[in-house]
Amino acid sequence: MPNIQLLDPTAEDVPEELGLSPKLPDLRGKVIGLLENRKYHADSFLHELEEVLVNDFGAGKVIYATKFSYSAPCADETLDALVSQCDVVVHAIAD
């Protein structure tokens, strides 16, 4: 009799809850990280957002990063770089 292998599709990891970061009083002079997920139009949205953040809200610098794939988690190295360099990070998802 042949064996049948059953796969359990449920996630094994329990996500760590970190809570919310403290609010920034404003964005003037702040370094903003923009993380794009490679979905259609996410890059267009983030480039428009960059202009608004700099021109309308006075952001000092914008750092742009891209995930390898929209369906995969962001690489730890990318997240670590954004966290170490940025005051705030925006993750864009679009279609």
Cα 39 from Cα 60, distance rounded (Å): 27
Q: Is residue 12 part of a domain?
A: no
Is the pLDDT assigned to residue 93 strictly greater than 80?
Answer: no
Decide if 25 is inside a domain: no
Q: What is the pLDDT of residue 22?
A: 83
Q: What is the mean pLDDT of residues 57-71?
A: 91
- Looking at the structure of the chain, the number of domains it has is 1
Q: Which band of pLDDT confidence, cut at 50, 70 and 90, is reported for residue 64?
A: very high
Residue 64: its H or E element: strand 61-66
pLDDT at 1: 72
DSSP state of 71: T
Task: Quote the pLDDT of residue 86.
Answer: 95
- Domain membership of residue 17 (yes or no) is no
Would residue 62 count as lying in a domain?
yes
In a domain, 26, yes or no: no
- Using a 10 angstrom Cβ sphere, with 0-12 exposed, 13-18 middle and 19 or more buried, the burial of residue 81 is middle
- Residue 4 lies inside a defined structural domain of this protein: no
**What angle (nearest 5°) sits at the alpha carbon of residue 31, between those of residues 38 and 79?**
45
Residue 48 in any domain: the answer is yes
- When pLDDT is cut at 50, 70 and 90, the band that residue 91 belongs to is confident
Q: Whole domain around residue 59: which residue ranges?
A: 31-92
Q: Is 11 within a domain? A: no
